[in-house]
């Protein structure tokens, strides 16, 4: 479809999950129909005060596409509940579903990578890491977004073979991730912990 390029659309797994940017240019309905999308997972969270969110939810309702909000921040380290909510969305929404943020480059790369590991296990690590490729996904992170790709490495190391979901629900700590980054000279790769002032310990 002609909108695939400006909307940074790609299949993660054809017929099951896809990724894209925000449909700023319009034609969201035809775009969803062209790919047979049955659910849209919005990684920007619920934003009823903004036109783009109201338009997106209206179009999804009109097209009988399930709309699900998940909140991630490309500069702030996620809390366990945020990552668990993402996995829940990937499990619960009908397929094929679409993961999207604003540009389809950063939060979407993380979500797509976590989906791959969640679905196929750590043996699919290389495929998951490819979701952060500059081409074709245009992942060119700013200094405070470098943590996104590093989370995948932290997760594999800390999970030690257990499933991604089990690790997130029982062991993941944003503060521990912060310390891991700092110990590797990546203290400037993020802006802070989501919703935590002063980066104090906490889950």
What's the pLDDT at 203? Answer: 30
Does residue 129 surpass a pLDDT of 90?
Answer: yes
Does residue 37 surpass a pLDDT of 60?
Answer: yes
Q: Which two tokens stand for residue 81?
A: 């509940």
CA distance 155 to 162: 10
Calculate the average pLDDT of the chain. Answer: 95
Does residue 201 surpass a pLDDT of 70?
Answer: no
- pTM here is 0.94
What's the pLDDT at 82? Answer: 98
* Domains located in the chain, CATH noted: 2-192 (3.90.190.10)
What's the pLDDT at 198? Answer: 53
CB 177 within 8 A of CB 151: yes
Contacts for 5-12: CB closer than 8 Å, 24+ residues apart? 7/31, 7/104, 8/103, 8/104, 8/105, 8/137, 8/138, 9/35, 9/104, 10/136, 10/137, 12/99, 12/112, 12/115, 12/116, 12/131
Tell me the pLDDT tens digit for each residue of 130-183. 999 999 999 999 999 999 999 999 999 999 999 999 999 999 999 999 999 999
CA distance 107 to 48: 20
């Amino acid at each position: 479809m002609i909108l695939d390029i400006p909307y940074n659309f790609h299949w993660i797994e054809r017929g099951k999950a896809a990724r894209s940017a925000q449909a700023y240019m319009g034609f969201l309905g035809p775009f969803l129909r062209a790919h047979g999308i049955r659910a849209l997972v919005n990684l920007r969270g619920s934003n009823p005060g903004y036109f783009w969110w109201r338009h997106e939810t209206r179009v999804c309702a009109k097209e009988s596409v399930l709309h699900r909000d998940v909140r991630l921040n490309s500069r702030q380290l996620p809390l366990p509940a945020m990552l668990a909510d993402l996995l829940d969305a990937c499990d619960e929404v009908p397929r094929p579903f679409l993961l999207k943020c604003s540009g389809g480059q950063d939060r979407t790369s993380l979500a797509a990578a976590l989906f791959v590991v969640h679905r196929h296990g750590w043996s699919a690590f290389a495929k998951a890491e490819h979701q952060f490729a500059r081409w074709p996904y245009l992942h060119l992170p700013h200094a405070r977004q470098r943590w996104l790709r590093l989370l995948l490495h932290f997760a594999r190391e800390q999970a030690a073979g257990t499933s991604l979901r089990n690790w997130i629900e029982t062991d993941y700590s944003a503060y521990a991730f912060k310390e891991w980054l700092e110990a590797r000279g990546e203290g400037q790769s993020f802006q802070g912990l989501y919703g935590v002032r002063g980066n104090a310990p906490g889950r």
